[in-house]
Each structure stands twice: as C-alpha cells, then as structure tokens.
Structure 1
Amino acid sequence: MPLSSEPSAFADGRGVFIVRNAASGTAVVRADPAGTFSARLPAATIHELAEGEDLAEVVTRAMQSDEPPAVLGVYGGDGSVSRMAGLARQHERPLLVMPGGTFNHFARSAGLDDVDIAIDALQAGTTIDVSAIEAHADDGEPILALNAVSVGTYPELIDERDRRRASLGKWLGGIVAAWRTLRSAESLTVVREGRRARVWSVFVGIGRNDPQRVATMQRETLVEPTLDVRIHHARGTRLRAMASLAFGRRTAAVLRAVRLMPPRSDVERLVVADFAMTVRLEDGHPSVFVHDGELEEVAPGGFTLRCVAIPRAVTVFAPPREDSGVRR
C-alpha cells in the first residue's frame, strides 16, 4: 500500500490502530506509554491486548470495521512485533513498531530505541521496506520472522523458561531454565541435502551478521534479503553450547576471551536465499523451534523446517540513517 506523501498524514494518529501487549517486557521496568499516546497521537485507536486474546482476531476485526486503519502499530516485544509484521504484510499496511519488550532486538536494529522515536518517524513519514524470513514447519502455516529462527539449545532454554514462568516469573524462570539446560542439554540430529550432523543449535538469521557470533538473534541489516545460517556442531561441552547463545557484542567478547565460546571450526556458516533441514528428535527433546523469541510447538518426533528470505516483506516507520534504505 503506497504511503501518503504528506508528512503530517498521521500526525495526530488518525487512521492508526495500535495494539499494546501489556504482558511484554515483564522482566524490565518500563514507563507506561499511555500518556505519550494520548499526548502525541490523540486520534489513534489503542487496543489493550487481554490475556488469551488473539492478536490476529483483533486486527481482523479492526480491518473489517467501517473505517479500517491505514497503519497497524504494536507496542510490545519481538514476538508481538513479528506477529504484527505478518499481519501488516497480510493486510498490506505499514507497520509502526514501538519497543515494549525485554530486548527489543528488531526495534533496536531499526533505530527505534523508544516510543517517541517511533512516533517521530510516523509523523515525518519516513519508512523502510524490511526483508524478513518466512518459516514453514512441515505443512504448517508460514510464519514471518524479523530476526531469526532457531532449533536446538536455545529453543530448549525457552521451553524450560516458559514452563516455569507462571510460578517464577520471566526473569527468575530464565535463570532456573539456564541452569537446568546447562546440566541436561543434549545435541540433536539434523539432515540437510543428504548430510547428517549432530548439532547443539542452528540459527537462521536475516541479513549478513557478525561472522564471530553463533546466536544471531539481533539483525545487523534491514534490507538485505539473505539468510545467514550458523550451524553449531556438537564437538564441545554443554557449557560452550550455552555460552554460544550470547548475542551481545560485549558479552560474547568476554566469553571468547576466557575461551568459553566455541572455536570457529565448530561453527559452520552458510549465506543463502533459502534453507531447509530435517530435525530428528530423540526421547526427551521437545519438538519445538523458536522464531523471534517465540516458542512454536510442532508434531513430536521431528519435523522439516524451511526458511526463505523475503525481500521488502513489510514497510516499517523508522528514522533515517545512512545506507539504511530509509526513504522520506
């Protein structure tokens, strides 16, 4: 859908439908954005996502109303943002991303460090056409991912955390999950193009990323329609498998300095337009994969995962940066 050439088209929020996921970012203290919304986007429609409410149903109702929105917005974490991105693509609407989660990987990559920056981009009318990953597990519905898709140790960590979240909370549950995964993680078998391998993890990111990382959970480019795949072969210890999940530059650098990160010989890198593998699971392995921090359950016993790079998958409001592809 072409955007208006008038920078003030959405200045007061008219035609903007924002879903706020209050459950996002429970691991951090974050200012309530309600005052900012009312002050800067008084004409926008704000929907608070209730527990158990389906985001797709909320957006469908809005699109079927007498005055369907011209812009879809989301305040939440990476999972909420990627789900809304899929809906924005489906309904051919531009996306307003406002960081409200714990890590906000995609928002940070797009230069959207806070709600005000996102609203500035909306009111200025600056956008970028972002590439993404379309992932299929067996014959399931396609899922749009804005950062990465993964199998192995990281999904097991997320599965363990989510099972403990109700009783311990996200932060403490994450610590307990990391400890248990460190003690019990097992490698798994993947098959690609007839080649079988035992691996700790496979990360499929969008756009070329730092070649020294294994967990490419935060993208470095927004436009490049390329998959950057990291296959961590199971030649080292569980401790190295867990250390490889470090995605921050400083953390990864420290772990590398004390020789906890896996050596380069253990990590295979592929830069491709599409990627497919069959995951074969043994007893005790959860049949899951993760996309943008969201756990996806699939049929037990194993599955085939296919990922394709999609150019210009969704238009996102973002501040202009050099060589970012942002247009005014």
Structure 2
Amino acid sequence: MMHGTPPPDAPGRGLLIVRNAQSGTAVIRPDPAPVLEARLPEARVHMLGEGEDMADVVSRAVDTDDPPVVLGVYGGDGSVSRMAGLARRFDRPLLVLPGGTFNHFARSAGIEDVDAALDAFDAGHSIEVSAIEGAANGGESFLALNAVSVGSYPELIDDREKYRPRLGKWLGGVVAAWQTMRGAEPLVIVRDGRRAKVWSVFVGIGRNDPQRVATMQREELERAILDVRIHHARGSRVRAVAFLAFGRRTAAVLRALRLMPPREDVERLLVSEFEVSVRPAPGHPAVFVHDGELVEPGGEVFTLRCVAVADAVRVYAPPSEG
C-alpha cells in the first residue's frame, strides 16, 4: 500500500527533498531555496555533499522514528531517475522539482518549473508512471524514466565528461559531438541469435514519435511498453551523430538537409522486454546510458536487459490538458 501524503495544514511536513548541487550547472536558473522555504516550511531539504550517495540519505531518513511519507528531488534526469528508483523501493510518491539542464522527464510530465511541481503537490494531483527496469550482465537493477541507450550517444556522453572539467558541459558537449562524429565506429549487437552492426540502440518507455531515433523525451507517461529504435550502420558517421538531434525543429532541419538516417536504416520494435548483447568496436568504451547517467558494466562484451514496468512510481504532476 502506498504511503500517504503530508497533512494539508502543515505545508511540507513528511516531505524529504534531496538537492543535487551539481545538476543544471550548464544553465542559469534561480535558486529554489526561497520558494521551498516559503511554500514548504516544514519540509526537510538535504543538499547532497560531494561523494554523498542519494540512496544512503534516503535510507537513513526512512529508518527513523519520523520517516518521510513523500520523497522529493531537485535535479536533472539522472537525479530524478535515481530518486524514482528509491521511491519505488520504499513505496513513496515522488515530487519532481526540475533543476537539470534538459529536464526531459519533468517536461514530459508537464512540470515546467518548481512552482508547477509545487502546485500539483499542493493539489494532491498525481499520476502512476511506467518505467524501464534494466540491468547489465544480470547485476543490480536500475530504473529509467526516459530511455536506455548504447552506441553513439553513450560515447558522446563519455567524451563530454572528459572535456567537462576544462570546457564546461555545453562547450564540452560541442567538442564531444565533433570527436564522436570523427571517430564513430559501429558496434556489434546480438539479439535473439541474430548479429547486426549498428550505430546505436535506444530503448524508450511508451510509444514515441516514429520519425525520431533518439527518443530521449517520452511522449506517454502511463503505457508500459518499450519503444526500441535500432539504427543500423548503413550510413555515414555524420548520420550516426545527426540522429542525436533531440528537438523536433532540429530534427526537421537535419531531415531537410538529408542528414537524418533514412527510415529503412532504423528498425523499430514495440515490446514488453528487450535483451541485447553488446560488443563495442576495438578501442571504444563498453558503456551505456540511462537517463543521462553513464554506466561502465565492465568487460569487452556486456548484456543489457530492459523490461517495461507499469505503475512503477506515483509522481505529482499537473493535470494533462488532453
């Protein structure tokens, strides 16, 4: 049984909010502290220290005489997905306060800013959200609210993290995209006994725009189905990176310039579960990404398994306009 919500006469009581100070450093946005203090005076707000683990913070809070009944997070998609996994583990609803660079999940849920999230929380309006439960090499599972990917995008993230300390996230991303485009090589995947060379594999949750390859921002919140895009390595390196255009307008421009991969190069699957064995090209890292978080599972070859989970976590969100 899902735990309850804080009493309406005590704004914020029973709510634990964890802030990730490292989220959203590539964009300028106001400090949320004054808003949280004004609207949720009785909430507990914990700023993550360097090297501090969110799971440890939440576990300690839950294991007290006055445990939180709602878990909140201020941060980007990686922080949100980690807290979503903890909310599911401890059977608590989730308050998402967008504080990252892209905020893909928050935008999908109609949560444009902190005030919108708090309005939904005050009104008690929530929705049961589906998610991806994944694991690499049969290890510890993780929860993803947007997508899991192997191939060009994880390599771009890997390169960006190398440049980030020196150039920052935005400029580091530009340099990483250039490096990825110059050095992109297909990786080999094996699925259901079939071998293929591909530029990338994206596993999203819920049906997404069929015209796109990089389904980083979901279009459905409730449907428990995996929308898989496999970009077969039949085109150029430019196309291998051009498909990473996340925005509709950017994708439209690239499509007009004939830089997006043709439809026959992209295989789409709508399945409840998906398993693939991945062998990167020689000299390329064995990595994957879930909700912007880079993971190195170890070994030259790894197996990635994803399962669609219905009603994975209850999230406070504005009512849908539809």
Q: Bin the TM-score by the shorter chain.
A: over 0.9
The one-letter code matched in structure 1 to 2:73 is V
* 2:19 maps to 1:20: yes
**1:61-118 per-position Cα deviation (integer Å, ceiling 9, x unaligned):** 1111220000000000000000000000000000000100000000000000000010
Shift of 1:5: 8.1
* 2:207 maps to 1:215: no
Superposition TM-score, scaled by structure 2 size: 0.98
Q: Cα RMSD between the aligned structures?
A: 1.3
Alpha carbons of 1:5 and 1:200: their partners in 2 closer, same or farther (altered >3 Å)? closer
Alpha carbons of 1:23 and 1:5: their partners in 2 closer, same or farther (altered >3 Å)? closer
Report SS of the residue matched to 1:198.
strand
The one-letter code matched in structure 2 to 1:200 is W
Partner of 2:50: 51
For structure 1, the residue ranges without an aligned partner over 5 or more in a row are: 324-328
Report SS of the residue matched to 2:59.
helix
* 2:282 maps to 1:283: yes
Instruction: Quote the Cα distance in structure 2 between the aligned partners of 1:93 and 1:5.
Output: 9
Instruction: Quote the Cα distance in structure 1 between the aligned partners of 2:8 and 2:84.
Output: 21
Partner of 1:238: 237
Report SS of the residue matched to 1:287.
coil
**1:90-149 per-position Cα deviation (integer Å, ceiling 9, x unaligned):** 000000001000000000000000000101111111110000000110121001000000
Shift of 1:10: 7.4
Q: Which moved more, 1:274-283 or 1:114-123?
A: 274-283
Written as runs of structure 1 = structure 2, the 5 A alignment for 1:178-189 is: 178-189=177-188
Report SS of the residue matched to 2:179.
helix
The one-letter code matched in structure 2 to 1:102 is T
The one-letter code matched in structure 1 to 2:220 is T
Written as runs of structure 1 = structure 2, the 5 A alignment for 1:240-319 is: 240-319=239-318
Alpha carbons of 1:11 and 1:219: their partners in 2 closer, same or farther (altered >3 Å)? farther
Partner of 2:31: 32
- CA contact 2:70–2:93 (8 Å) conserved in 1: yes
Report SS of the residue matched to 1:277.
strand
Written as runs of structure 1 = structure 2, the 5 A alignment for 1:79-158 is: 79-158=78-157
Superposition TM-score, scaled by structure 1 size: 0.96
**1:215-265 per-position Cα deviation (integer Å, ceiling 9, x unaligned):** 000000000000000000000011011110111111111110111100001
For structure 2, the residue ranges without an aligned partner over 5 or more in a row are: none
Instruction: Quote the Cα distance in structure 1 between the aligned partners of 2:303 and 2:77.
Output: 24
Moved over 3 A (4+): 1-6, 8-11
- CA contact 2:5–2:69 (8 Å) conserved in 1: no
Sequence identity of aligned pairs in percent? 69
Partner of 1:193: 192
Shift of 1:169: 1.5
Shift of 1:4: 4.6
